[in-house]
Amino acid sequence: MINVHKDVGLVRDVFDKESLEKLGRGHMAIGHTRYSTFGTVNQTNAQPLVVRHVKGQLAIAHNGNLTNAAELREQLEYSGAIFHTTNDSEIISYVITRARIPPLPSKLRWKRR
């Protein structure tokens, strides 16, 4: 299970002792501190982006611009993708999760607590 705390603003304004305690202890972490260059600046578009799919969960933070984001998004939408954000990182997550790779063996997947 991936625990997430995210918002827009400065790190010092988004995280405090209480929000960090709610995240709990873990073995890995991903952070992202970048203003949006694609899509609307709001909590939904804040990264890391977490998606849940048949292969498990994926957390992604992307620090760049997809120059063909609009074209890729349109192609994915016409093939059935439903987007929940307006950021280009979600496009990357769809490409990754649609890749023809088998799911991870169960012993490598994160166990729910």
- What pLDDT, on the 0 to 100 scale, is given for residue 35? 63
Task: Tell whether the model's pLDDT for residue 65 goes beyond 60.
Answer: yes
Q: What is the pLDDT of residues 1-35, one digit of tens each?
A: 888 888 887 888 888 899 888 888 888 777 777 66
Q: What is the topology classification, in CATH, of domain 11-104? A: Glutamine Phosphoribosylpyrophosphate, subunit 1, domain 1 (3.60.20)
User: Domain residues of the chain, as ranges?
Assistant: 11-104
Task: Tell whether the model's pLDDT for residue 66 goes beyond 60.
Answer: yes
- What pLDDT, on the 0 to 100 scale, is given for residue 36? 60
Task: Tell whether the model's pLDDT for residue 86 goes beyond 70.
Answer: yes
Q: Distance between the two ends of the chain, CA-based, in angstroms?
A: 8
To the question of pTM greater than 0.95 for the whole model, the response is no
Per-residue pLDDT, averaged over 38-61, amounts to 78
Is the CB of residue 49 less than 8 Å from the CB of residue 59?
yes
